[in-house]
Chain A
Amino acid sequence: MDFELSAEQREIQALARELAEAEIEPHAAAWDREHRFPRELFGRLAELGLMAVCIPEDLGGAGADFLSYILVLEELSRADAGVGVAVAVHTSATTLPLVRFGTDEQKKELVPPLARGERIGAFALTEAGSGSDAAALRTRAEPDGDGWRITGVKQWTTNGAYAGTFLVFARGEAGISAFVLDAETEGLKPTGEHTKLGLHSSSTTDLVLDGAYAPRARLLGEEGKGFHIAMATLDGGRIGIAAQALGIARAAYELSRGYALERRQFGQRIADFQAIQWKLADMATELDAARLLVYRAAWLRDRGEPHGEAGAKAKLYVSSVARRHTGEAIQILGGYGYTKEFPAERYYRDAKITEIYEGTSEIQRLVIARSILGLGERAVPTPA
């Protein structure tokens, strides 16, 4: 057993950390306050290869492994969780499925602009009536010539207002299929930027599809195999969200530790009080456990081994750690923690979503239970 990162992984981690501390963290409070998606930042990230960490070199990516990508997400999310989710959805929910399921022609055409950050990726699966029960989606794909007209409304599309490439799931005669649509497609329109509890620096919109045309060349994978693509994508995607939660939890812990060593009450540092020591000891312990779960899931994926259960465990545990620790951070900072003078309250608001998106904690438990009990792929019946 070896808990060391490789030299390359350490260097990539150091780069992401240095960049996040210099160019993201100082602006995170303002982006949060102004609900601003920092579009210009993604060009900068792409220049350094951070928009395509684990994308093969011949498609314009950096060709690093999945664990390196996870390390990058952790560092970005530590500075700004909204930036973290934008990169996560762009990479593991849009670019990676294209790499994995695309034909050579599709890969050559669609992946390099995503890798260069010229286009930001978005994943459009969820609808008003289909969240956890994703297979109940109602968006229609009607045959039209050698392609399909897609009609329906997608909901909570991360990166929606800024995306150039959308991975859209729609139901046709053969079942659910996956389509790749450009933002310029006639009949495709992101609408209604949602106001959220946190992640104010990320864009979350609806996506209106009104007869948007997808030629056959834009069908990803086989017709009717879209649900499989969506589920396989979420298998890896949830490791990314676990990394995002890990970044948030680490930010909360580091803030708490630093503050406890400085803040004085009753003539001593609050870190000298056992009440605070125990909180920090628990946080440090759980953070370690969280990190190991996330890195193991990524490591399994890099080895080409099944990682669905490991990823679900990581996301289930780390998102809960992030939610609880960000609350503890506010408690340790006291009144200051409740104000916007410190980032603790932002961490707290940002953390909650990690228990919800890319599979709620309840769905993660379902995935884990099915895996450990040897139950079938889908325990929940879905309408035909």
Chain B
Amino acid sequence: MSPRMLTPFVLGLLSALLLVACRGNTVSHRKLVEVIVPSQDNPYFQAEAAAAAARARELGYDVRIDAHNDDPYTQDNLIDVAIASNASVLILDNAGADASISAVRRAAKAGIACFLIDREIRASNIAKAQIVADNLGGAELLGKRFADVLGGRGTYAELLGRESDTNAQLRNSGFHLSLDKYPQLIRVAAQSANWSQSEAFQRTETILQAHNDLNGIIAGNDTMALGALAAVKNDRRKKMTIVGFDGSPDALSAIREGTLDATILQPAVKIAVLAVDEADRLIKTGTTGLPERQWVPCELVTRQNVDEFGAFQRTKPKQAGE
């Protein structure tokens, strides 16, 4: 292999490169809204991303959607790319309350207006807004419903979310704000199933072996509630009260069938749209006009009102008398 052949080859490539670089076409004059969510294969985050994207396009922005898969380092890289692409707005459902701070700060320093949705970070005055569902309030509501259906007595099991997740802790505290008011309602088992359907299935099977007099299961999210539901179905035991949290389409149809008693609908779509609207207001008027931390109330979904809801959003107005 002669090195003399290499030089013109490399030179040719470099000049071609420069040519293209100078041309630089497809310059869009619209502002870019970067939407980063935890994953694109989960209905909750899909709904959230799609709602934010649709609203931003409606308002005349370019939109790009990416997923960090709950990996702070992937998120860090994606935010770098957003900075390099001169994004104007970042709508972020972040990868960790602590591990996301430096990346959000870097984006803010680069002049990107950061709007955090669904999950907060443990730092203030970096993001323009942090809009989340009121998990504590929602969990308290669900705990009350669960206790009411059980008549304030009996035994139950609790399926917890991933222990490191703030929402798992918040929901657990919220449940017990209500449940602990009933001394005859006894928690006989509490297990983490890491938000996962298959893990919840296995945990529930084991719990049912140990406690055949169980009256109910309260789960930290719908996925785990559906896992528990499958395990109970297999067991062909008397009807058990199972409740979940999130308002996923699967949970809503289980409520319609009557297998799942209740869920808490997290208004993911509303939150995403709010964030985009506030970003738009910030760009047009220089301020969102709202405080940084915003909590959007959750709603209890039961068989009575299930038809008023779609995937992570209210689709029909509230009926009178509810």
A binds B: no
